[in-house]
Structure 1
Amino acid sequence: MKNREVNFDGLVGPTHNYAGLSFGNVASLNNANAKSSPKQAALQGLGKMKALADMGMAQGVLAPQERPDIHMLRRLGFSGSDADVLKAAAEKAPEVHLACCSASSMWTANAATVSPSADTADGKVHFTPANLTNKFHRSLEPEVTGRILQGTFSDSKHFAHHKHLPDNEHFGDEGAANHTRLCHDYGQEGVELFVYGRHAFDQSKPAPTKYPARQTFEACQAIARLHGLSDENVVYMQQNPAVIDQGVFHNDVISVGNQNVLFYHEQAFFDTEAKLQEIQEKFGDRLLHFIKVSTEAVSVQEAVRTYLFNTQIITLPNGEMAIIAPTECEESESVSRYLSELVTLDTPIKKVHYFDVKQSMRNGGGPACLRLRVALTEQELDAVNPNTLMNDTLYAKLTNWVNKHYREELSVADLSDPTLLIESRTALDELTQILKIGSVYPFQRV
């Protein structure tokens, strides 16, 4: 049976903006309140999806969140018409208003943790939406994310969906941004790496002091239990607290893996050698490539600025691996020099493809943030909602949809404009019909 890894990228929403709300995400803070281009961001994302599909990769699309979140503003005491709610929130609680206008759904690696059927006790693909509790504006997303995932992977014969973990920082969960799977073949049993920033119930353990550790050890354990994973196929690794304090808010900013390759910075992990040995032992006697980038070759600061490790490593149809990198990597002397050398070494990575995803980069997310990886058998891929899989027809539909509904430019002041809310809801209602995912948004369910 043929097995594939499918990248499901998140569509950028029509209210894409730079509010700078993610403390610990340096790029997000540096670009706070700058004008954004929702249309350009969406088209950049679609361009990357189409390019990967043209390379022969299986590529899917996930819908964005609805913003502004009028439902949450009403829960917080604002009343009247939708226009009244927006006006009152913007005037009386501007920080709350901005939070309810922001979403991280374009960075789909934050959406959920996925375990393929080869790893799970019941032989199904398991999904758990991330609760994203560390930031209020991101914690608004899990319910809708869960509905979008269920609309995309609806066949209960093949797919199992879990409710997100409790909405408490003891179980803070950031999804696939802190989860990597290593395997020989996508359809064979693999080793799932859960990377955490701190222990929630044991304050004596190492933890960062400047920036928050968004993922907890306890959350990682809970997801492994929910997904029915064997202890023999799971490794829990702590992210280096010192590197979190340098702006590495997720593991996928400092490490990325694919099949038998783990590509990481030497400062990425705590107790690195012992954990790499555990990975190798659980991986067995199969060949496993640990590709370590030294601080001398690329500093942590340059890795964060260029998102060297927030690149995608994909396996092409010919069996070779390629890195999908942002153009910032190409423009960096040290990073481009490193990548040029990497493809000549004795590893599976043989090519680098650069993409312009600046609208995402400015808000703190590179190519790897933009996708959720789902390893599927041929039968499971056939069970996925076909309207969400990228091809020439869907690309044309979504490009026309973006050009029809999205604004060229958006400022933070525009977020209180009730016309933007109407535009956004009109666009999203049409999108759910294009993707045929059902009524996933609150405004569709009243």
Structure 2
Amino acid sequence: MISARDSDSAVGVNVCEVNFDGLVGPTHNYSGLAAGNVASRRHAGWVANPREAALQGLEKMHALYRAGYAQGVLPPQQRPDTAFLRRLGFAGSDADVLAAAAQRAPAMLRAACSASSMWTANAATVTPSADARDGRVHFTPANLQSGLHRCLEPATTGRMLRAIFADPAHFAHHAPLPATPALADEGAANHTRLGADYGAPGVHLFVYGRDAFGLEPAPARFTARQTREASEAVARQHGLNEAQTVFARQHPDAIDAGVFHNDVIAVGNGPVLLYHEYAFADEQAVLDALRAKMPEPLIPVRVPAEAVSLDAAVATYLFNSQLLSNPDGSMTLVVPGECQHHEAVWRTLQDLVLAGANPIGEVIVKDVKQSMQNGGGPACLRLRVALSGAECAALSGRVLMTDELYAALAGWVKRHYRDRLAPEDLADPQLVAESLTALDELTTLLQLGAIYPFQRSG
């Protein structure tokens, strides 16, 4: 198996990509909070199964680890966020706060209970040490200001990242961008690094949906979540120069069809860019810019709309798949089960991807239905971090997947998670006690210390 800890410490030698998946939290529910996310809105009000959701995510992590891919785990956020509700004027015990919010501001209660941090593609933007001037891995937590339920995450996300990637000799942490619509940042969901391999210099493709000042055409139906100005600011924070970056505008028709992030319509790995015809507003300009800046030839894998419509791409999350490198130079595409059940999408995978002139030689189907129904596929669930052997050795905590860690986490989920959570259950004060008990045990299990507000407040 490929082991991150077996990598050579020298930049450019045996650097591997570690996928850090988010653990689904105990309050996983279907509140339909995400504007522009078709699946999220379609399933609003459904009864969720937090236990099944967490176990599905863990099974995917463990299966990829067993297949030889380096795999990490990130903990969920503290939810319900009663401190947020108290800032809104609700007072008293946790039970009082939840009851009052349920009666007077139910939308605020749903936001305070969201388990959306499971989609760690939104957690941060990451630049590997091979591309950074100071030779360190750089992190910027996304401000996620476009969604009320998600803008509650950045502070805790930053603490988690600093706790895991703690060694300042190897890791650099930046503050989230100011939480303003002009600098709306959704993290790695709108960022793809392309190049020869993980340890060699690469080119960073930043995709945005709008500019801050309305100078470019905007979507008509849904508000674009990422601004060009935010992407440029993150690139500057990480010290990336013009030769290392390409900024591309997402196609507004795709956003209006429910492509709220670029990773719902395109996925890249190494020199391969798998994308839909309507991924970019100016497809040819993006390809030309990448070809001009990439250190090795770009391998574009284009899926035309006549093969897979925008609606089909959104319904199946074909492009929200993980594209993983294998030691023999081939690649594996990890797709959600919905792809297999859609005739046109499955046929496209067989005819265009597997039989095409590209390195993708295998498709693995994973069941992440609980996540999919809430609007997140396999790629949403992971944050990609390229690490050398020395950088892996510098990680803090017990966060790299092993058989033992999988068994421990699965047992933890089975002990603490409910198998049913309906919208009315969010006001149950016992949910707070259950969640905090679970998270307190989790930080011990993962050896991360006091990362949650309730642990830090004394």
Q: Above 0.5 in TM-score?
A: yes
1:295 corresponds to which residue? 305
Mapped partners of 2:328, 2:55: distance in 1: 28
Report the counterpart of residue 144 of structure 1 in structure 2: 156
The Cα offsets for residues 382-422 of structure 1, whole Å up to 9 and x where unpaired, read as 11125000001100100000000000111011111010110
- Alignment pair present for 1:311 and 2:325: no
Instruction: Give the match for residue 242 of structure 2.
Output: 231
339-348 vs 295-304, which moves further:
339-348
Alpha-carbon deviation of 1:351?
0.2
Match for 1:115: what amino acid? T
Distance in 1 separating the partners of 2:106 and 2:298: 51
Identity, in percent, stands at 58
Q: 2:127 maps to which residue?
A: 115
Mapping of residues 192-203 of structure 1, within 5 Å:
192-201=204-213, 203=214
Secondary structure in structure 2 of the residue aligned to 1:364? coil
**Residue in structure 2 matched with residue 32 of structure 1 by the alignment:** 44
Following TM superposition, by how much is the alpha carbon of 1:249 offset from its aligned partner in structure 2, in angstroms?
0.4
- Partner of 1:369, secondary structure, is coil
Using the TM superposition, give the Cα deviation of residue 7 of structure 1 relative to its aligned residue in structure 2, in angstroms.
0.2
Distance 1:159 1:83 in 2: 41
Q: How many Å apart are 1:281 and its aligned residue? A: 0.4
CA distance in 2, matches of 1:444, 1:190: 40
| SS of residue paired to 1:139 | coil
SS of the equivalent of 2:192 reads strand
Query: CA offsets, 1:49-103, max 9 Å, x none?
Result: 0000011111000000111101111111111111111111111111111111113
Alpha-carbon separation, structure 1, partners of 2:93 and 2:328: 56
Match status 1:249 vs 2:249? no
Worse-superposed segment, 327-336 or 341-350: 341-350
Q: Give me the whole-angstrom Cα distance separating, in 2, the residues matched to 1:410 and 1:293.
A: 38
Amino acid at match of 2:382: R
Distance 1:263 1:318 in 2: 20
Matched, 1:399 2:410: yes
The amino acid across from 1:147 in the alignment is: R
In structure 2, which of residues 5, 11, 14 is the aligned counterpart of residue 2 of structure 1? 14
1:133 aligns with 2:179: no
Equivalent residue letter for 1:370: L
> Structure 1 CA distance, aligned partners of 2:115 and 2:168?
29
| Structure 2 partner of 1:91 | 103
Distance 2:55 2:137 in 1: 30
TM-score by length of 2: 0.96
User: Deviations for 1:8-56, whole angstroms, at most 9, x for unmatched residues?
Assistant: 0000000100000111000000000100000000000000000000111
Aligned pair partner of 1:80 in 87, 92, 113: 92
Matched letter for residue 12 of structure 1: V
Matching residue of 1:181? 193
Judge conservation of contact 1:208–1:241 (CA < 8 Å) in 2.
yes
Give the drift of 1:437: 1.4
1:360 aligns with 2:371: yes
Match of 1:273 in 2: 284
The alpha carbon displacement at 1:274 in A equals 1.3
- Equivalent residue, structure 2, for 1:347: 358
Rounded to whole Å, the distance in 1 between the matches of 2:290 and 2:357 is 20
Contact 1:182 1:258 in 2 (8 A): yes
- Mapped to 2, the partners of 1:59 and 1:204 lie a distance apart of 41
Contact 2:397 2:447 in 1 (8 A): no
CA distance in 2, matches of 1:436, 1:228: 32
In the TM superposition, residue 363 of structure 1 has moved relative to its aligned partner by 0.3
Q: Which runs of 5+ in 1 are unaligned?
A: none
* TM-score normalised to structure 1 length: 0.98
Say if 1:165 and 1:135 are closer, same or farther in 2 by CA, change over 3 A.
same
On the 8 A contact 2:166/2:396 being kept in 1, the answer is yes
Q: Which residue of 2 aligns with 1:21?
A: 33
Per-residue CA distance 1:337-369 (angstroms, 9 max, x = gap): 111122122211000000000000000010000
CA-CA distance at 1:272 after TM superposition: 1.3
Preserved CA contact (<8 Å) 2:54 2:413: yes
Q: Distance in 2 between matches of 1:104 and 1:233?
A: 31
The 1-side partners of 2:171 and 2:339 are apart by 37
CA distance in structure 2 between the aligned counterparts of 1:264 and 1:8, rounded to whole angstroms: 23
Amino acid aligned to 1:277:
D
Inter-partner Cα distance in structure 1 for 2:298 and 2:110: 45
Give 1:210's match in structure 2, choosing from 204, 221, 230: 221
> Which residue type is aligned with residue 308 of structure 1?
L
Secondary structure (helix, strand or coil) at the match of 1:88 reads: helix
Letter in 1 for 2:284: E
Give unpaired runs (5+ residues) of structure 2.
1-12
C-alpha contact 2:23 2:74 (8 A) present in aligned 1: yes
Shift of 1:288: 1.7
Aligned to 2:112: 100
Count of aligned positions: 444
Report the AA paired with residue 258 of structure 2: G
**Of 342, 346, 350, the match for 1:336:** 346
Q: Runs of at least 4 residues of structure 1 off by over 6 A?
A: none
**1:415-430 pair list within 5 angstroms:** 415-430=426-441
Matched, 1:283 2:294: yes
- C-alpha root-mean-square deviation of aligned residues, in Å? 0.9
Distance (whole Å) between structure 1 residues aligned to residue 102 and residue 397 of structure 2:
40
Distance in 1 between the 2:438 and 2:327 partners? 35
Distance in 2 separating the partners of 1:369 and 1:257: 14
